[in-house]
Structure 1
Amino acid sequence: MMSGESSSIEGRGASSSSSNSVIPAGNAEEEDRRGHSSSAVDGGGSGGGSEDEDHFDQESPSSSSAPPGDVDDVVQEEDEDDEYDANRLSQLPDPDTLPRDSARAKKLRDRKRRACLAAAGLAIACAAVVVTTSYFGPDDAGRNIPGLSSSSSAAADADADAEPAESWTPAPGYYDDDDGDSGDEDDSVDDDDSVDDDDAARLIEARAFMIQYGISSASDLDSTGSPQRLALEWICAADSSRIPVPRNHLGSDDTWGVVDLTAMMQFVQRYSVAVLYYALGGPAQWKTSLNFLRGDSYECDWNEPYETRSGGKVDLGVVCDDPTAADENGWNRVTRIWIPWDHGLQGVLPPEIRHLTHLTSISMAYGRISGDIPAGVCDLKKLEELSLSNNLVGGALPPCMTQMPELRILALDDNLLTGDLDVLNGIPTLRYVYLEDNGFEHTVDDDFMNGHEGLVHLDLSDNALNGGAPSHFFSHPALRVLDLHDNELTGPLPDAMPEQSALEFLALHKNDLNGPIPPALGNLKGLVYLDLAHNQFTGDLGAATGQALASLPLKYLFLGGNDYDSQPFPPFLLFMPGLLELSLKDSNVTGPIPEWINALDRLYLLDLDGNELVNSIPSQLGDLTRLNYLLLNRNRLTGEVPSSVANLTELRLLLLDDNSLSGSLDDAVCPALSNDTEVAADCAPRTSDGAATGAGAPEIMCDPGCCRICCEDGGEPCNDDRWIANNDPIWEHRYGRDRVTFEDDDDAN
């Protein structure tokens, strides 16, 4: 395994980092406002550069923000820090250490002692209220509260037999005397305060309200350490904002049905965001709080500004940016929740997220969020973007997602999701779909996502899809990216494709597609990236196919690993000087490498491994001075390696083994290469001619400091791995491949 920097398909060095937004590609102004790039804000960035930046360089409308290094390494680092963070930060913050009105501090401490004495009596009264209000229903007209999700009414009914309020007590520490007093002092402070203003009264009354209206279940509220209980205790006892609890009108004939609905929704919104914070590892796991649970601030200010890649600013955390949703007092609704990558998210999405009904965008990538996607997400009727990339989310896609009328961006890639993809057929609003690297099983046919006229990106790679390559994807008016690689697709490609210029990126490698490569591909006039490698295509790359491919603006062409007939080096490549990467690995190519190879002088990668190439390496190969990767191994090349190869000073990988080359690499080639260049050649002493071990002269001379892999000519192959450039394209902030990583392909033949 060899690794290095990542780069986009335009040579831009795409690190595994991204931005998330609900804005279509190409809108730079909107990207500054909404395209929060965690690569920019957390240290990710571009490696390498290229002048070829006219394709696939737009910001992703949504994607997972990856760390600049390997994700597994990041997770390991987090694991090492977990114990420290857990000891340093209590699971539940001390209410008196949180920001609050200093004038109230002593008053609150004194009242906590009094609250304990009154809690039992109030609990009994509150239990009676629960029974009474259960009779009246949601309000006195039988209506649900506007602005709150009613999807948990069944859960509320299930909690009707829950343990009464008097059996529940706050978590340890909330009613302890902070200054160590024994509690024997005069507790007559603030005698004018009514007891239902005390923390205990707030807790008990709020619990009853939550259960009555299905905001949270009794079992969750009564479970010590649950996110719901922690959030309720915080908002009732530790939150210095002291938002009024929706009243149960003790001592009056009123019911909750006539309470101020705005005040009710304010309480539920603040509580629901607090539940989300506790459910996903805050405060013990998060790297920073993002100002969550700042008691002296409005929840719409629970965010921190970060810098985007383009130099703009974006608030990450909780944002309320819909002025039409504000009331006359300026209270607003939460519209998006964006958390930076690798921020320490860990846990399960809570059902209370359904109460944030004005959400348009959720982006929480590169964490350890687990469990299923809660069905409550379907209650977010305004949601346009759901991005949970690179987590541990499992289960199937909720069928109710077909009831999300605004959903445009679905980024759930790199998770543990299973089941079929039928739900996608019922979401015609989808434009950007990233579901790669999961465990979906689905039969792809001509009805699959047919009619999604606005679809722009579709990435379903690395799943277990079967069926064929649907013809409607090749005639789609808007589809720019189609990535179905590493699945189980079979059959031929469509032999008829209407002329269109929308499709730019087509990756179908590592499937079981067969038949000849159709000349109809020449009708995809906008195609820049084509990967058909490692299938079962037959025939050859003859005149018709070659003419079709040469007519396209291709920069990335991968055709190797198929069952082609024996064929010469494809002459049509002479007419493709814009190529940046070319792979004809295992393509049954015979004859010499043509001298016109220097016409492809923009090549970054040239992979001719595993063919039947003969004669000497042409000196013109030394004109490809941009080459970083040159694979000529497993051929029948002869003669000396030309000294012009010393011109390839950018080489990072040079594979020459398993040929019949002679001479020395030490005189000209090796001195010109970087110390980091990986070189393989037949430079081991030969024993196959009967000489004693180490006695036979090597086929080609190369100092071990240069040739890190020395194979023996005619002996057991020491570099028999079928190295392939990692052509697993990754959608991060743009489509990219880690072009510096090579992996063994066990399935190569």
Structure 2
Amino acid sequence: MPTNNDDDGATILDDGLSTCDDDNNFNENSRNRTLTTSADAARQTAEAKRYHWFTCSLLFISFFISALIASVRIYVFPRQEQLSRLGSGNNDTTWNDIFGNGLEEKENALRLNQTLEYLIQTNAVVNSDVTLMKDIAEADYIVSAQYGAAVWIAQYDKFRIAIPSPTTSSSHEEHQFLQRYALAVLFFATGGTETWVYKMNFLSGLHECGWYDLFMEEGSEESFPFGVLCDGEPTYETEEEKLELEEDVWNGTRTVTAVVLFPMNNMWGSLPPELHHLRYLKALYISENEMLMGEIPFQYGWLKHLEFCTLFVLCVDSLNRRNNLSGKIPHSFSYLTKLRALRLEVNRFSGDTVKGDFGFLKEMTSLEDLALDYNANITGTLPELISDLSKLKALSLSNTKIYGTLPSSLSRLTELEALFVDDCDFEGSVKVLESMPNLTHVYLEDNSFNDTIDDTFLANCTNLVHLDISNCSFSGIVPGHLFNLSQLEVLDMSLNKLDGVLPAEALSNVHEGNNLTFLSLHTNNITGSIPTSIGRLKNLTVLDLSSNQFSGAIPSEVGDLSNLDILFLGRNNFNETPVPTWIRNMTSLTELSLANSSLTGNIPTWLGELTQLMFLDLGGNELTGTIPQSLSNLAQLMVLILKSNKLEGELGLGELEKLEILLIDDNSLSGNTDDMCVHEITYFVADCGGSRNVGGIDKEIECSCCTLCCIDENVTCNDSEWLGNHEGMWETGYNRVKWEFEDGMISPYVNYN
């Protein structure tokens, strides 16, 4: 066995050696080994390449996702609780939890420190305690508009403007920063984050010159920009580009020249001093925000380029819509030598001209428009220095406590076009106005001038458009030349002591293309008949000749005034006549008063065809018969006065759902008013205070909702003055604001139900 084993071992070793020695065998075996190794290597190489591409793809995808997440973190989903206070309106907290803040904390902290350092060391921020404020990320609210703006511009502003250095920055860099910062302070100081109705792109990623929106006036195709306006318009290819663009398309060269904020924007708080950083500002418009209070910062006097300063109410449909700014107007306004318009009306400013509180006006030699009206705490006499404002075109002091006379020095205001001094305490003569040939709008009503009007009254003022001298204690006549002023639209001489007659000849010479739309002469002592030439005033929409001493017949030519909305002829001495039939064609009438006009006969059924009527007064006449049921067609009727006639029958006017005043006392009406009481009438007076039986028929009204029940024995039961004269207010374009009665007031614009 051992031999066999040795042989086997020797055989194996010999075989190996023989292989090495045998060239042919070596070459063949070597070839076979080489082919096997190349196949394995190719297979391994292919696998390695596939692994390499997979790895690269995985890394690329990971990098892309990381970049996408970082972008989302930074630009879309910053911390909701902070952005909510900064006005972003983002409420998605889920993404916040996933991505976190998305801002580099160290960079933000550095930017905030740089911002605060710059603001404090350069005195750019008025609030010196800004560094003592808690971090906004920990506060429940923005404790300072200045600090809120600093945090926003340093950390949350996607525009990422460069923070200037207190020592090394260029003036251009500082200007760009302060411009954006000042507007942000305005936003925070006036409730922009919480109450502004229209944000106007404030605090968006756009350059601040893009912080505006376009608004279209109702009934107009023209749009108007409100917000921040600059010295030119940016160019966008599409509207989407405007909304999405986050870079400075102006390359830092744009300058804010106007801040025109949308009215009634629910602003509150106070105006921040920091607006003075808008050093090239030319116009500032803020209006109709009743929660905007405080004083005008004296720093606004440093805006030396300012030309228009308007902090008032734009329209006075309701005088409750106002800014509530108060205090004295800063004396620093004397630096605003370029100012052309200073409009601070409808606020709570105070000051006494006698004590020199308005001395700053002396330096405003460029002023063309000065409006201080509806500031009840402004008092004193009309200062002489106003006469030195030679460029003045409009002066408005209405509803202040200015008193005294119109100084003769006003004659120097030869450029003056509009004078508003109504509802003040002026007295004396108005002759000085005749030296102002360019006057177009004159409002003197509700003063005590006690002057006399003759044929020379304002004869040189041939450009008049509005003339309101009502309730001024004027005596004299109605001058005929006023009817020949081609541009005159409003003539209100009511509530004076005028006598004489209407100038028939002057009315006969009126050009039929005249512009007179409003004529009110009520409550004077004008006598004679109404001239038939009154019918030449074709454009009249309001004619009020009530409460005079007119006699004779009401001329049918009044019926030619087809544009009339309001016709008041009551309380005169006309001849007895039925309700004139020509009224039937006046389908535009909204108000008709023929009270105490000696009317006889029945109430015509065709009155129910005047479906625009809101006011109908036929009281104090000799009308008989029943109340026609056609009156229930007057769906717009708010005031119906039929008192003191000889009417009988049942009332039956339950369909008049808008009725607020119903006076039917001192008649012989009967029945109940259950259908009327459903509408909760504000003033309802009827004969319901006793029991009157005539021929076995009860002539009293059963009224469960009357505000006053009269009995026959009480002849003064409803003796109040119920003539609702049209008191046109220039503030509302001579539109009806209210009917004011002795017992109360009713407005056609208020839903009392």
**TM-score bracket relative to the smaller structure:** 0.5 to 0.7
Q: Is the 8 A contact 2:636 2:658 kept in 1?
A: yes
Output the CA distance in 2 between the equivalents of 1:423 and 1:305: 31
Alignment of 1:301-316 (within 5 A): 308=314
- Which AA in structure 2 matches 1:743? E
User: Among residues 338, 344, 349, which one is paired with 1:344 in the alignment?
Assistant: 349
Q: Corresponding residue for 2:362?
A: 354
For residues 85-484 of structure 1, what are the structure 2 equivalents within 5 Å? 102=121, 287-294=293-300, 298=304, 300=306, 308=314, 333-348=338-353, 350-366=358-374, 367-484=376-493
Deviation for aligned residue 1:412: 0.5
Structure 1 portions without partners, runs of 5+: 1-98, 110-269, 271-285, 318-329, 690-695
Shift of 1:302: 9.9
Q: Report what 2:564 is aligned to.
A: 554
Distance 1:316 1:715 in 2: 49
Provide Cα deviations, 1:114-158, integer angstroms capped at 9, x if missing partner.
Answer: xxxxxxxxxxxxxxxxxxxxxxxxxxxxxxxxxxxxxxxxxxxxx
Code of the residue aligned with 2:671 in structure 1: it is G
Q: What is residue 700 of structure 2 aligned with on the other side?
A: 700
For 1:304 and 1:384, the matched residues in 2 are separated by 16
Q: Which residue number corresponds to residue 735 of structure 2?
A: 736
2:543 is aligned with 1:536: no
Q: How does 1:703-722 map to 2 (within 5 A)?
A: 703-704=703-704, 706-722=705-721
What do the CA deviations read for 1:606-631 (whole angstroms, capped 9, x no partner)? 00111111111111111111101000
Shift of 1:333: 1.3
Q: Report sequence identity in percent.
A: 36
1:491 Cα deviation after fit: 0.5
2:632 is aligned with 1:622 = yes
Distance 2:301 2:743 in 1: 54
**Normalising by the residue count of structure 2, what TM-score does the alignment of the two structures yield?**
0.55
User: Residue 683 of structure 1 aligns to which amino acid in structure 2?
Assistant: C
CA distance, structure 1, for counterparts of residue 302 and residue 433 of structure 2: 43
Corresponding residue of 2:677: 670
Match of 2:676, as an amino acid? V
| Contact in 2 for aligned 1:287/1:343 (Cα 8 Å) | no
Offset at 1:737? Answer: 3.4
- State how 1:615-654 maps to structure 2 within 5 Å: 615-641=625-651, 643=652, 645-654=653-662
Alpha-carbon deviation of 1:744? 6.2
* Distance in 2 of aligned mates of 1:697 and 1:595: 25
> Is the 8 Å Cα contact of residues 721 and 741 (structure 2) preserved in structure 1?
no
Tell whether the 8 Å contact from 2:311 to 2:345 is kept in structure 1 after alignment: no
Structure 1 residues 452 and 305: CA distance shift in structure 2, 3 A = closer
Letter in 2 for 1:742: F
Correspondence list, 1:656-667, <5 A: 656-666=664-674
- Counterpart secondary structure, 1:638: strand
1:372–1:394 contact (8 Å) kept in structure 2: yes
Q: 1:505 aligns with which of 508, 515, 518?
A: 518
Tell me if structure 2 keeps the 8 A contact 1:535–1:561.
yes
The C-alpha deviation readout for 1:16-48, integer Å capped at 9, x for no partner, is xxxxxxxxxxxxxxxxxxxxxxxxxxxxxxxxx
Residue deviations 1:171-209 (CA, integer Å, cap 9, x gap): xxxxxxxxxxxxxxxxxxxxxxxxxxxxxxxxxxxxxxx
Asked whether the 8 Å contact 1:373–1:393 carries over to 2, the reply is: yes
- One-letter code aligned to 2:296: L
**Residues in 2 aligned to 1:648 and 1:605: alpha-carbon distance in whole angstroms:** 12
Counterpart secondary structure, 2:654: helix
Residue 680 of structure 1 corresponds to: 685
Cα separation, 2, equivalents of 1:104 and 1:526: 62
Question: Could you tell me how far apart the structure 1 residues matched to 2:450 and 2:313 are?
Answer: 39
Aligned residue pairs total 441
Distance 2:315 2:418 in 1: 21
Decide whether the 8 Å contact of 2:645 with 2:667 is kept in 1: yes
Q: Select the residue among 615, 631, 634 that pairs with 1:605.
A: 615
The answer to whether the 8 A contact 2:567-2:589 is kept is: yes
How far apart, CA to CA, are the structure 1 residues paired with 2:408 and 2:486? 27
Aligned to 1:6: none
CA deviations on 1:282-315 (whole Å, 9 max, x unpaired) are xxxx9422333358755839957778569xxx99
- Per-residue deviation at 1:354? 2.1
Letter in 2 for 1:558: F
Q: Distance in 1 between matches of 2:428 and 2:528?
A: 30
1:621 counterpart SS class: helix
User: Aligned AA for 1:487?
Assistant: N
| 2:499 partner SS | strand
Q: After TM superposition, give the deviation of residue 571 of structure 1 in Å.
A: 1.5
Query: Given the alignment, which residue of 524, 533, 544 partners 1:520?
Result: 533
What are structure 2's unaligned runs of at least 5 residues?
1-117, 129-275, 277-291, 317-321, 326-334, 745-753
1:322-363 residue CA offsets vs partner (Å, 9 max, x unmatched): xxxxxxxx9961222111403233432534422211111110
> Is the CA contact 1:658–1:717 (under 8 Å) kept in the aligned structure 2?
no
Seen in structure 2, the aligned counterparts of structure 1 residues 535 and 740 have a Cα distance that, compared at 3 Å, is: closer
Distance 1:578 1:557 in 2: 11
Q: Deviations over 1:44-63 (max 9, x none)?
A: xxxxxxxxxxxxxxxxxxxx
Corresponding residue for residue 593 of structure 2: 583
Alpha-carbon separation, structure 2, partners of 1:682 and 1:401: 58
User: What per-residue deviation string (whole Å, max 9, x for no partner) do you get for residues 437-488 of structure 1?
Assistant: 0011221112111132211000011111111111111111100000110011
Is contact 1:550–1:575 with CA below 8 Å preserved after alignment?
A: no
The one-letter code of the counterpart of 2:702 is C
Q: 1:600 to 1:294 in 2, by over 3 A?
A: closer
For 1:475, give the aligned amino acid.
Answer: N
Name the SS of the counterpart of 2:387 in structure 1: helix
Equivalent-residue separation in structure 2 for 1:315 and 1:717 (angstroms) = 45
Cα distance change of structure 1 residues 664 and 303 upon mapping to structure 2, 3 Å threshold: same
- TM-score, normalised via structure 1 length: 0.55
Residue in structure 2 matched with residue 727 of structure 1 by the alignment:
726
Alignment of 1:572 onto 2:582: yes
Match of 1:15 in 2: none
The answer on whether the counterparts of 1:688 and 1:714 sit within 8 Å (CA) in structure 2 is no
How far apart are 1:549 and its partner, in Å? 3.4
Q: In structure 2, what residue type is equivalent to 1:403?
A: R
State whether residues 628 and 651 of structure 1, in contact with CA within 8 Å, keep that contact through their aligned partners in structure 2: yes
Q: CA deviation at 1:722?
A: 3.0
